[in-house]
Amino acid sequence: MMVAPASVPLELQDTSTTRPASALRVDRVSHRFSSNESTGLALDDITLDVSAGEMICLIGPSGCGKSTLLNIMGGLIAPAQGRVRIGERDVRGPQPGDMAFVFQESVLFPWNPVIKNLEIALEFRDVPASERHDRAMAALNSVGMADFANHYPAHLSGGMKQRVALASALSLDTGILLMDEPFAALDEQTRMILGEDLSQLLSATGKTIIFVTHSLSEAVFLADRIVVMTARPGRIKAIIDIREPHPRSPDFMTDPRFSELRTDLYKLLRDEIRRAVKP
């Protein structure tokens, strides 16, 4: 395991010449939040390189700015300082050709069957009508939901809805997926199964995934690297390199190294969690 403190320049953490090219770069991003009562610093000087084809998990105490950072990466929020780049281009607003979102709550139209929900998303992306059905079905098949294409969302379990949400994002055929606690509302068993499926998809598709989670076990099981954030204002405290190939099986969870990684992650987070809940 490698734990890289935030004070070490991120580009010096891995000197391997075989490291994939950067898919997305966060360059000295800071952000402030404001309300009627106060203004405060939410993110402070975040720099991060995300390599093509890797899965990054963002973890930290509640309110540390994980979701804010994800939304800045996706162009939904403009940072107060710094910039985000995809290749040589600055991210200025949403980038539907490059990135797709999967949120905690599935965003499905309840009056349309599953297949129609996906076809509508493709229509918004100007995919020709002749291609929409086949692309939607291929995406549903990749997450094991093809048999439910004509079901309505009300007839699906929470886990099934999240599979459909993932299929919708996959159908858009972007290189980057941004996932904001997509399994948080699900029971532990379903989360584990979906985690295994996501690892399989990462291995099969080579997509770049940035995944926000509060779960230590989920982060260790899924991530190539875990970005540990401090209590507000959110900074990068450390980066843990998991060094376990995808796809990952349940056997990894019983490996002593899994427990060691989870313990190390908790030690890094413990003081930050106490800071976040301190009155």
Q: How confident is the model over 204-232, as pLDDT tens digits?
A: 888 999 999 999 999 999 999 999 999 99
Q: How confident is the model over 132-161, as pLDDT tens digits?
A: 999 999 999 988 899 999 999 999 998 899
pLDDT band at 14 (very low <50, low <70, confident <90, very high): very low
CA atoms of 230 and 275, how far apart (whole Å): 9
Give residues with Cβ within 8 angstroms of 154, minimum separation 6: 110
pLDDT band at 37 (very low <50, low <70, confident <90, very high): low
CATH C-level class of 1-8+52-76+88-98+179-279: alpha beta
Q: How confident is the model over 39-79, as pLDDT tens digits?
A: 688 999 999 999 999 999 999 999 899 999 999 999 999 99
When pLDDT is averaged across residues 264-269 and rounded to a whole number, the result is 95
pLDDT band at 36 (very low <50, low <70, confident <90, very high): low
pTM of the model: 0.88
When pLDDT is averaged across residues 83-93 and rounded to a whole number, the result is 92
Question: Does 8 score more than 50 pLDDT?
Answer: no
Domain-wise residue ranges, the chain: 1-8+52-76+88-98+179-279, 108-173
Q: In this prediction, what percent of the chain has a pLDDT beyond 70?
A: 91
CA atoms of 194 and 196, how far apart (whole Å): 5
